[in-house]
Every structure is written in structure tokens, then in C-alpha cells.
Amino acid sequence: MPSVMLRFYEELNDFLPTGKRRRDFALACRPESSVKSVIEDLGVPHTEVDLLLVNGRSVGFDERLQDGDRVSVYPRFESFDIGPTSKVRPEPLRQTRFALDVHLGKLARLLRMFGFDSSYRAPLEDGELVRQALKEQRIVLSRDRGLLKRRAVTHGYLVRSEIPRVQAVEIIGRFDLSRRISLFSRCMSCNAPLQNVEKSVVRTMLPAFVSDNHEQFSRCPGCAKLYWQGTHWEHMKRLADDVIEAASGSGA
């Protein structure tokens, strides 16, 4: 049986057993195995990988491995463009849009609060989620490794934390989004961009105490939900400030 030498770098080691982390290790594989099948058999979703080198040469996921090959596997490079070097995906997404699986509803609301286009619908079958992500050029966010191993998923990220607030810090840091935050610019319920609306237009829809104490309002053109800077807004603003501070501290 052929044997290849592998080395995974940076956060990709999180997916590996302790004995295989941050070191070269030999692996027996089936003849003519693809790079994709080898790395995913080890538990690393292909969507986490941005550069593959086989014997120092950049290759795609379909590269067939030979006995004695040396494979280096790298995660996303955030500080510089490796487009001319990497062959693992056709091109980067020019806009950051997300499609979240059924288990990440609270994270979807938080990302919308920060102004990021985040599609979420429950229930939604995994295949339909992947088709939507491809059609709308969205990054799939999931805690399911199996979903991200699907060949059709070209851009995706495995969310590590189980806590929505920490998940938001994780996503903002991972995709370097701190400078692109636009708080309360998108409907947290249906994802549509909010529109400013005159108080006179919505006055009859407002509770008396809101009408008496607030002058600025936004309305969702999708679900018609109204937003204003009340006590709930103040609570969410404190939450947003905490997330932004934590993301900045993590190197975002």
C-alpha cells in the first residue's frame, strides 16, 4: 500500500489527533487516492484548506497521490493574496455572504446585527443549503464536518464554538470583518437591509411611549418590522461592543 508524508499547518491541526499535530507523519493510503480524500479521511474539511503542496508543487484537490509523495496542507492566508499560487479553488468570493445551517440560528441573528448578509432558514435540508450557497456565492457556516466535506461546497468554515456570542467573535476574526461592521443596518429577523423611515409615516404603528420618546426609526422592507433605539437596542449595542472588543483582541 502506498505511503505518503503529510504536514498540516496552523489551525488545521485542531482537526487532527494529538500525535499528528504540528509534525510530519507518514500515512498509508489506497493507490491513486486523491488529496481531498486523504485529508478528509483525517477529519479536515476541504473548505478549511487554501493551499496544497505536493512535493513543493501547488495542486488541486483531485491530485492523485503516489508512493513517497510529501503533502503540505495550509489553511486560509489572511494577510496576503495567494490566488496565483493556490489551485484548490477557482477564485475567492468578492463579497462576504454567509449561508448558515439549521443549528446556527442565533449566530445568524448576531451576524445580521453586525450588518453581514446571513441567510438562514429552518428547517432546511443540507443539499438545499449547499445549492443556495453555490447559487448566491455564499460561505457555508456549519458545525457539521460532514456537510463541509461535500464536494459541491467550495467555500465554507467549521464553526468551533457552541456559544453564539463566541461564534460571532470567531467569524469576525476568521474573515477579518472588523472594519466592515455596520451595526443595525440589516433586519435581524429576515436579513433584508433596513431603510430609514420618517416618524410621521409609522406613528400610528408605534406604542405611545415609543412615539413620545423616539424620533429616528428604521423599517425592514421585507417583513415590515420597525426598529428604534430603545432599551433592547441599548442591550444589543453593549453585546455588539463586547464582541467587537473580543474580536479585536483575537487579532481580527
180 with 103, same domain? yes
* 50 and 116 both lie in a single domain: no
Same domain assignment for residues 68 and 113: no
Q: What is d(CA 163, CA 229) in angstroms, rounded to the nearest whole number?
A: 26
pLDDT mean across residues, the chain: 91
Residue 228 has pLDDT above 50, yes or no: yes
For CA atoms 136, 140, 144, 147, the dihedral sign is positive
Domain total of the chain: 2
Q: Where a domain ends, among 151, 184, 217?
A: 184
pLDDT at 166 over 80: yes
Whole-prediction pTM:
0.79
Q: Is residue 17 part of a domain?
A: yes
User: Of 184, 205, 236, at which residue does a domain stop?
Assistant: 184
Q: Does residue 241 fall inside a structural domain?
A: no
Co-location of 66 and 120 in the same domain: no
Specify if 204 maps to a domain: no
Instruction: Answer whether residue 173 is part of any domain.
Output: yes
* Judgement on whether residues 12 and 58 belong to the same structural domain of the protein: yes
Residue 106 is classified by DSSP as H
Residue 78 has pLDDT above 90, yes or no: no
With residues binned 3-state (H G I as helix, E B as strand, rest as coil), the percentages for the chain, rounded to 5, are 35, 20, 45
- Give the pairing of strands 139-142 and 118-119: unpaired
Q: Quick: pLDDT tens for 103-131.
A: 999 999 999 999 999 999 988 999 999 99
The cell for 167 is: 461564534
Q: What is the pLDDT of residue 252?
A: 44
pLDDT at residue 84, as a whole number: 62
Write the CATH number for 67: 3.10.20.30
Residue 20 lies in a domain: yes
Q: Dump strand ranges (E) for the chain.
A: 3-8, 25-28, 51-54, 57-58, 70-74, 98-100, 118-119, 139-142, 156-158, 195-197, 217-219, 226-227
In a domain, 9, yes or no: yes
Where in the sequence is the domain holding 141, given as residue range(s)? 98-184
